[in-house]
Amino acid sequence: MTSVPCHYYDGRTSARREAGLTITPDGILIVAIDGIESRHLYQMTEVRIPNRIANTPRHLLLPDGALCEVRDNDGLDAMRDRAEGQPPSRARRFERLLHRLDSTWRGAAAALAVTAAILYSFTEWGAPAVATGVVAITPPEAEAVIGDNLLAMLPLFGVLDSSELQSSRQDELRAVAEAMGRETGIEDLDLQFFSAPGLGPNAFALPGNTVVLTDELVALAEHDEEILAVLAHEVGHVAGRHVMRGLAQTSSMLIIWTAFTGDASVAALSILGPDQLLAQRYSRTFERQADQFAIEYLLRNDIPPTRLGDILQRLEEAHADSGVPNWLASHPGTEERRRDARDAADGIRDGS
C-alpha cells in the first residue's frame, strides 16, 4: 500500500520527523515514523482533517495530540477516496467543490460574488424577516425591561440630565401624549423629559412604550402642535416597534457577518459604527412609516401636517453647525419628508 509523506510532530517537543501516512480500507490511519521502526495507529473517525485550501499544507490533528503536516494534498485525498470507497460522501463532494472553487481565480471570484450576494440578500430581506419574527415572540414586558434599562443608562453616559421643564408643562404634554397613545392603541405610553445640552433638540423612542423629549426640543418648537407632530412621529416608531426591530436586525446582521468574515470585531465595526449606535439610525422604511403615522394622526385631529415640516426645518437649522448626532442624523432625508408633509397638507386644501 502506497503512503503519503508527511512531517510528524509528537505534540510534546518541536522535533520534526519524516513519516509516511497510510489509510487502510477499514478506516485505520497508520503513521510510520522514520521508516517502519515506529508505527502509530489511529481510527480515521478520530482524526481531524481540515478542509483543503488551494495547495497550502494541511495539518492533520491526531487524537493523542500529535500532528502530521501533509503537503501532498492530491495524494492524501486520493488515499481517503480509496479508503472510503465509492461513491464519495456528501461532505467529501462538498469539500472537493470548495477546493475546485479555491483553485482558480474564476472560482474564487465566483465564491466572492456568491458571498456578497448572500450578505446583500440577508441585509435586504433576511434581517427584516428575522426582526419580524423576533418582535413577534418578544413579550411586551421584555421589551419594556430593555427600554427601562436603556433609560437608566443614558444619564450615566452624560447624555441626559434631569429636565428643567416646569412640572405643570410636563403634565400638560404628558396628558396630550396619553390621549395620543389611547387614540392609537398604546395604553401605557410613557413620555419622559430630559435636559440634554450636548445633544440639543431631540426626541427618540425606546423599546417598550417610552418616548423621550429633550427640554431643548420643547423650547425650539414655536407651537405646541409642532411638539405634537414630533411626538406623533415617535409614537409611530413605538407602534411599529421599530427600536426592537432595529436591534433584532442589527444583531442578526452581526451574526451573519461574523459567520462569513470569521471575525466578530470586523463585523461589529462594519455594522455598528459608533455613530450608528449613538444616532440610533432607523431605516428609511421605519422613518416613512413613522411620518405616515404622524401625518394621519395630525389629519385626524385637524392639525395641519405642515407642523411636522416646520419643526423638521427648525431642527435642521438648529443642528446645522453642531457636529453632534442629532434627531436629523437618525432621521435622514429631511427635504423629502418636508415635501411629503406639505403634500399631505395640500391634499386637505384640495379636498382630496
Closest CA to 65 of 23, 4, 13: 13
Closest to Zn ion by CB, 199 vs 290, is 290
Report how far residue 169's alpha carbon sits from residue 62's, in angstroms, rounded to the nearest whole number: 74
Closest CA to 281 of 324, 241, 246: 246
The CB-based long-range contact list for 76-80 (8 Å cut-off, 24+ gap) reads: 76/4, 76/21, 76/49, 77/52, 79/2, 79/4, 79/21, 79/22, 79/23, 80/23, 80/49
Q: Provide the minimum distance between the beta carbon of 269 and Zn ion in the complex, in angstroms, as a whole number.
A: 25
Closest to Zn ion by CB, 18 vs 275, is 275
Closest CA to 50 of 69, 36, 63: 69
Q: Provide the minimum distance between the beta carbon of 218 and Zn ion in the complex, in angstroms, as a whole number.
A: 17
Closest to Zn ion by CB, 31 vs 279, is 279
Closest to Zn ion by CB, 127 vs 229, is 229
Q: Provide the minimum distance between the beta carbon of 87 and Zn ion in the complex, in angstroms, as a whole number.
A: 57
Contact footprint for Zn ion (CB under 5 A): 290, 331
Q: Provide the minimum distance between the beta carbon of 212 and Zn ion in the complex, in angstroms, as a whole number.
A: 12
Q: Provide the minimum distance between the beta carbon of 111 and Zn ion in the complex, in angstroms, as a whole number.
A: 39
Closest CA to 190 of 225, 251, 140, 226: 140
- 50 DSSP assignment: P
Residues 6 or more apart in contact with residue 103 via CB below 8 angstroms:
54, 55
Closest to Zn ion by CB, 319 vs 331, is 331
